Structure 1
Amino acid sequence: MLTVHAAPLVLPVGAAAVERGAVAVEGDRITALGPYEEVAAAHPAARVRQWPGVIAPGLRQWHAEWLLTRCYHPDPREADELGADPLSGEAFARLAGELDATRWAGSVRRGLQQMLRYGTTHLTGPFRDPVVRRAVSRSGLVEVPAAAAPGIPDGGPDLDPFAVGRDLPGSVHTPLVTGARADFAVFDVPDEAALVAAGAASCVVTVLAGRLVYRRR
């Protein structure tokens, strides 16, 4: 089904922002991008989804391998004991000996789900751990080369791709263009400057290969 995703602002990256813009998606591809009135008129039978804030390309997580292999992402049922935030460093080291295959695979899946909550659609590899490699493949997230990846911060990486101090163009892998795979996110902010300032925690929707894979409740 063809779907038109509309928002007050579309930030394609590499092209001018589109006020009251829209992105038309059919299957896993972007079929049109531009002012909402024009896109909607060209696709009168499309389902329309109206979102707040801005539509931007999906983000790239530079430190995905670290976050998936050196962190434990607690199950909500473990929150009373372990809390809700990823465990790394000494906390992860203490727990690592207790992780059987089932708990480890669950942690990796939850880590990937958390990345989707931050508008992430592309992950810097390579992923040598077979459990991680399999989970990434099944998730639909795109693995990309590690060229020019920034170093690991002293306190460890953050799930927010903006945490490494990059602007929007430096935080995405590919711009939004007609014909490209439909990987994008919606952030509940008014413009690009506000997005960079607020970070990816402002994400309300993530679309991966045309599929809505995360929506904030």
Structure 2
Amino acid sequence: MLTIHTADLLVTGDPHNPPVPGGAVLVDGRTVAAFGSYEELAEASPTARVRRWPGLLTPGLLNPYGPELLEHAYHPDPREADELGTEPLTGEALAALAPTDARRGASARRGVQRMLAHGTVAVAGDLWRPAVLDAVRRAGLTVEERFTDPAGAPTLDPLARDGGRGLREAIVAPLAQVPGAAATFAVFDAPDEAALTARGASCCIATVIDGRLLYRSR
């Protein structure tokens, strides 16, 4: 099925392709068939389903804190909030909890969902626990190599200022119109790159991986 995702502004992540006001991405199953102005894509594919999003459509983001957020932290279940709170447990609190492998797997699944809610489609760093790897792979996130420890404290926001990363640095890969290019991108409630950097990735509206809408806030 063909689907057109259109937003107020499209940023491809390629410095040779300027942002496209009213831009869109044409998705064919798991891959990108084309991108450009909505009018051009709609005219070329009049039977395609259309998803309209407000804000900024960009390639998906990379979170550099894969092990720190998914293996060295415990994301409480909402039903545990009264006892454990809502923020990830690390360090001594995690050691005191001593979660089983099953609880670590459930924690990783919740952590992945929180990452998707920040436009994250890939994590960096070595993941060793099978339950964590399973949660990441089932969601479709990719695992990238990490050659140095990232700056700043671990955070779910790939655009966090502590890490000193702008949108261009956080993008995993630019959108591409080549055979087999993955339809993987995110949409943010921000009018442009500067506003997104200021607001942070928590303003994510939708995250798509391999053509699947895995997160939407509205």
TM-score, normalised to structure 1, is: 0.93
Q: CA deviation at 1:141?
A: 0.7
Aligned to 1:13: 13
Tell me the distance in 1 between the aligned counterparts of 2:119 and 2:191. Answer: 16
Q: Percent identity?
A: 50
Q: CA deviation at 1:148?
A: 5.2
SS in 2 for 1:49: strand
Tell me the distance in 1 between the aligned counterparts of 2:27 and 2:115. Answer: 22
Aligned to 2:183: 182
Aligned to 1:209: 210
Q: CA deviation at 1:149?
A: 5.3
Deviation by residue 1:137-186 (Cα, 9 ceiling, x = unmatched): 222111112145524x2xx3000011112111100110112132111000
Pair 1:169 & 2:168 matched = yes
Q: Which residues in structure 2 correspond to 1:105-184 (within 5 Å)? A: 105-147=105-147, 150-151=150-151, 153=152, 156-163=153-160, 164-179=163-178, 180-184=181-185
Pair 1:53 & 2:50 matched = no
SS in 2 for 1:173: coil
Deviation by residue 1:82-126 (Cα, 9 ceiling, x = unmatched): 11121123322221x2x1222111101111111111100011132
Matching residue's letter, 2:157 = D
SS in 2 for 1:135: helix
Matching residue's letter, 1:171 = A
Show structure 1 runs of 5+ residues with no match: none
SS in 2 for 1:12: coil
Paired residues of 2:9 and 2:57 also in contact (CA < 8 A): yes
Tell me the distance in 2 between the aligned counterparts of 1:120 and 1:69. Answer: 17
Aligned to 2:74: 72
SS in 1 for 2:22: strand
Paired residues of 2:71 and 2:127 also in contact (CA < 8 A): no
Pair 1:37 & 2:36 matched = no
SS in 1 for 2:54: coil
Tell me the distance in 1 between the aligned counterparts of 2:104 and 2:172. Answer: 28
Tell me the distance in 1 between the aligned counterparts of 2:60 and 2:3. Answer: 17
Aligned-residue CA RMSD (Å): 1.3
Give the total of aligned pairs. Answer: 212
Show structure 2 runs of 5+ residues with no match: none
Matching residue's letter, 1:9 = L
Tell me the distance in 2 between the aligned counterparts of 1:178 and 1:83. Answer: 44
From the superposition, tell whether residues 145 and 189 of structure 1 become closer, same or farther in structure 2 (CA, over 3 Å).
Answer: same
SS in 1 for 2:7: strand
